[in-house]
Every structure is written in structure tokens, then in C-alpha cells.
Amino acid sequence: MQTALRAQTALRAGVRPQVSRRSVVVRAAADRPTWYPGAEPPSYLDGSLPGDYGFDPLRLGANPESLKWFREGELTNGRWAMAAAAGILFTDLVGLPKFWLAGAEVRRLGPAGFGPTRPWLRVHSAIQATG
């Protein structure tokens, strides 16, 4: 509590307080929520990453180098998911067909009677009929 008051006083005075990141990580690891109440998180998951609830049954996060790659992969997947959600909203606003009906409609490509999406099937049938 006193630390928070000191930080507020320092911010009002225009001075930026120096806080050690290590002390924050240790405190977060001591009283942080875990994936299962009463579960003991592995030693390499110290609570410094967002969403770290100590769940790693395959021990994938034991290697700090691979943990960086996994973190970046999660960020990339999240960005793609946000872009997909924006695309869904865009199609609704513009009035395009619903995304869940994308494969339900049969659309003809090319000249009439050329088949919905498999023109090679019509060509193959024509070759068999003449040959």
C-alpha cells in the first residue's frame, strides 16, 4: 500500500518511480491464480507472461528460446483472428452473402452449361464420348 502511495506522489510531482521488474514477477508468482486451484505451477512459468496460469502438461515452455517462438505464434494467431472478425463484420455491413453460406451456393463459372466448378469433368466426358 505504501509503495502505491509513493508511486502516486512521485507521478504527481513529475518524477517517474523506478520499480524493479524482478520484484513484480516474484510477487506475481507467489499469489497468482493457477489453472487448477491448489496446483503448483512449474518453476519456469513465473507469471511474467500474460495469461500464464501455470498450465504446461507437455513442458513446452521449459526451453526459454522456444517459449519466445510460441509467444510470437500466439500473437500472430490472435492478429489473424482479429482480421477475420473484421472481415466478417465488413461482409455484414456491405451486404455480401453470409460467411457461413460461402460453400452452400452453386455458382456457374464461364459460359452457361459449363458446370458449376468442375469444367475439366465436362471436357473429360466429351473426350470419352468421342473416343
What residues are designated binding site? 74, 79
**Residue that the C-alpha cell 512459468 belongs to:** 45
**Residue that the C-alpha cell 486451484 belongs to:** 37
State the sign of the Cα–Cα–Cα–Cα dihedral 55, 59, 64, 70.
Answer: negative
Amino acid at 99: F
pLDDT grade for 4, boundaries at 50, 70 and 90: low
Q: Would you say residue 35 has pLDDT above 60?
A: yes
What residues are designated binding site for chlorophyll a? 74
Give the pLDDT confidence score for residue 77 in this predicted structure. 97
- Note the maximum CA span of the chain: 92
Give the pLDDT confidence score for residue 25 in this predicted structure. 52
Q: What are the residue ranges spanned by the domains of the chain?
A: 1-58, 63-96, 107-131
Share the mean pLDDT of the chain.
76
The arithmetic mean of pLDDT across residues 78-87, rounded, is: 96
Entry pTM: 0.49
What residues are designated binding site for chlorophyll b? 79
The model's pLDDT over 19-31, given as tens digits with 9 standing for 90+, comes to 555 555 545 555 7
The model's pLDDT over 87-117, given as tens digits with 9 standing for 90+, comes to 999 988 998 878 788 777 666 665 555 544 5
